[in-house]
Amino acid sequence: MPRSESGDAPPPLIPKKRHNLETSSVTTSSSDDSSRRRKRKDRRSRKNREEGHANDEAIVVTTNGDHATLRPGTFDKRRGSVSKAARDPRDEPPVKKNLKKTAAPNGTVRAAPSPIIDDDGLSRPSRGTRERREESPEQAAKRLERMRGAVRTLLECVGEDVDREGLLDTPDRYAKAMLDFTKGYGQDIEDVVNGALFQEYHSEMVIVKDIDISSLCEHHLVPFIGKMHIGYIPRDTVIGLSKLPRIAEMFSRRLQVQERLTKEVANAIMEILKPQGVAVVMESRHLCMAMRGVQQTTASTITSCVLGCFERKSKTRNEFLSLVGVSRSS
Ligand SMILES: [Zn+2]
C-alpha cells in the first residue's frame, strides 16, 4: 500500500477536492505606501529568500487567459538533491542571474528564473530555443528552406539521385518531420502545465505508468522508444494527471540522451509541485544500438531519477519500483 511520508496532516476520510483557482493579486502598492515601509518589506523578503523561506506573495502564472494561483515560491526554490553537482556537465544548471520576479506586459508576475525552468518557462533553453520560439513567419520559412537544402545534401552524400521521383518531396517532408520531432523546443512548462495545480492534502503515492516516449538520441539523431513511469508523493499540491505525460512529451521532443531526459522530467516536476519526492524510471530501446554499432536489437536501457523522499527512503523507492513493475524482468 502507498504510505504517507509525514505523520502530520492525516488525510480526511472523504478528501475534499478544492480547486484553488482564485487569483490573488501580487501588486501590493497602495496610495499611502511610504518608502520606509517598502524598504522594510524589501528587507524582509530578501531575508526570507536568503533563508530559503517562501515569499509571502503568491505567484500568478498566466495560462490561456485564466489565472491559477500557485503556491508561493513554486518556481523559485531549489532543492538539495537538485543542487548537487550534476554528473553530466551539460546538466549543470546555469548560473543564477536575476532573482527578481519579472512583470509580464499584462501586469501579472511570471515565475522567477530558476535553475530548471527559466523565467520564460522554458526548461534549460539554449539560444536556438528562443530563436525558434520567437521567429516570424518569414524566419520560419527561411529555416525550413535551409533544412530542405541540408536534407538534399545528405541524400546526395549517401549516393542518391535527389531528382528521382520517390525522393522529390523527401527534403520537405523530412524537414517538417524533424521540426515535429523537436517541437518540445517551442513549448514552455507553464503552457504544458496550464494551471492544472490543485491544492489537495493527499500524501499518498501517485503514479502514472507506461507513458509512451519517443525521442531522438542526440548523438545519432535516430529514435529511442520506450516507456516512462512517473511517481510522486504530494506535499499539499497535486497536478492534473494528464500533465505528467505532457511534461514527459515536452522533454522527449528535444534532442536527448535517456539519462538526461529522465532527470529533466523529475527535476521539472520537483520544481513545479514541490512534492515530498519524485521518482522517474524509463525503459527504452535505442535504434542507434539496434541498427548500428553493437546491433543489440533486444537490449533495453533503464534509467531512473529519484528525488526527495524517494532518494532518502529505500522503502518508498522499492514500493514505487514494485508498483511500476521494473524489478520484475519482463
Ligand atoms: Zn545514439
Q: What is the pLDDT of residue 42?
A: 58
173 or 24, greater pLDDT: 173
Do 212 and 172 share a domain, yes or no? Answer: no
Measured CA to CA, the distance from residue 154 to residue 102 in angstroms comes to 44
CA–CA distance, 80 with 63 (Å, rounded to integer): 29
Between residues 264 and 104, which one has the greater pLDDT?
A: 264
Instruction: Note the Cα 287 to chain centre separation in Å.
Output: 24
290 CA distance to ligand 1 middle (Å)? 10
Among 69-73, 127-131, 150-154, 183-187, the range of highest mean pLDDT: 150-154
pLDDT band with cut points at 50, 70 and 90 for residue 55? very low
| C-alpha span between 30 and 37 (Å, rounded) | 11
Per-residue pLDDT tens over the stretch 182-199 = 999 888 888 899 889 999
State residue 124's pLDDT score: 63
CB-based burial label for 305 (10 Å; 0-12, 13-18, 19+): buried
Give the per-residue pLDDT at 134: 84
Nearest Cα to Cα of residue 225 among 309, 146, 288: 288
pTM for the full model?
A: 0.64
**63 versus 302: which is more confidently predicted?**
302
The parent domain of residue 170 ranges over: 128-185
CA of 95 to the centre of ligand 1 (A): 29
Percent of the chain with pLDDT over 90: 51
Mean pLDDT of 92-117: 46
- pLDDT tens-digit series, residues 241-277: 999 999 999 999 999 999 999 999 999 999 999 999 9
Which positions are annotated as active-site residues? 217-220, 258, 286, 288
In-domain check, residue 121: no
Q: Quick check: 45 pLDDT over 70?
A: no
Q: What is the mean pLDDT of residues 43-55?
A: 47
Residue 240 clears pLDDT 90, i.e. is over it: yes
**Beta bridge partner(s), residue 18:** 199
Please tell me the least confidently modeled range out of 24-28, 130-134, 196-200: 24-28
Residue 222 Cα, ligand 1 centroid: separation in angstroms?
A: 6
Is the per-residue pLDDT at 106 higher than 70? no
Same domain, 281 and 178: no
Asked whether residue 211 is assigned to any structural domain, the reply reads yes
Average pLDDT on 159-175 reads 96
* Amino acid in position 96: K
Same domain for 247 and 202, yes or no, is: yes
Q: Report how far ligand 1's centroid is from the alpha carbon of 256 (Å).
A: 9
**Tally of structural domains, the chain:** 2
pLDDT above 70 (res 60): no
| 40 lies in some domain | no
Instruction: Looking at the structure, tell me whether residues 178 and 213 fall in a common domain.
Output: no
The tens digit of pLDDT for each residue in 259-269 reads: 999 999 999 99
pLDDT higher than 70, residue 229: yes
Q: How far is CA 99 from CA 27, 146, 148, 181, 229, in A?
A: 18, 38, 41, 33, 33
Residue 133 belongs to some domain of the structure:
yes
Task: Let me know if residue 300 belongs to a domain.
Answer: yes
Tell me if 117 is assigned to some domain: no
Kindly state the average pLDDT of the residues 219-224: 95
For residue 224, tell me if it sits in a domain.
Answer: yes
C-alpha cell at 68: 491559477
Does the pLDDT at position 101 exceed 70? no
Does position 32 have pLDDT exceeding 80, yes or no? Answer: no
Q: What spacing in Å lies between the alpha carbon of 244 and ligand 1's midpoint? A: 25
CATH of the domain at 301: 3.30.1130.10
Answer for the pair 274, 204: CB distance below 8 angstroms, yes or no. no
For residue 94, being part of any structural domain is answered with no
CA of 216 to the centre of ligand 1 (A): 8
219 shares its domain with 318: yes
CATH number of the CATH domain containing 149? 1.10.286.10
| Residues 45, 28 contacting (CB under 8 angstroms) | no
211 and 308 belong to one structural domain: yes
What pLDDT is attached to residue 320? 96
As a whole number, mean pLDDT of residues 18-36 equals 41
pLDDT tens figures, 279-303:
999 999 999 999 988 888 889 999 9
Q: How far is the CA of 218 from the centre of ligand 1 (A)?
A: 6
Same domain, yes or no: 204 and 249: yes
Of residues 299 and 113, more confidence is placed in: 299
Pairing mode, strands 277-286 and 223-233: antiparallel
* Residue 246 near residue 284, CB atoms below 8 Å: no
Give yes or no: residues 174 and 202 share one domain: no
Residue 312 pLDDT more than 50? yes
What is the percent of the chain where pLDDT is above 70? 60
- Residues 157, 261 within the same domain: no
Mean pLDDT of the chain, nearest integer: 75
Q: Are residues 153 and 200 in the same domain?
A: no
Q: Do 220 and 310 have their domain in common?
A: yes
The alpha carbon of 327 and the centre of ligand 1 are apart by a number of angstroms equal to: 25
pLDDT value for 329: 47
Q: Do residues 133 and 208 both lie within one domain? A: no
39 — pLDDT class (breaks 50, 70, 90): low
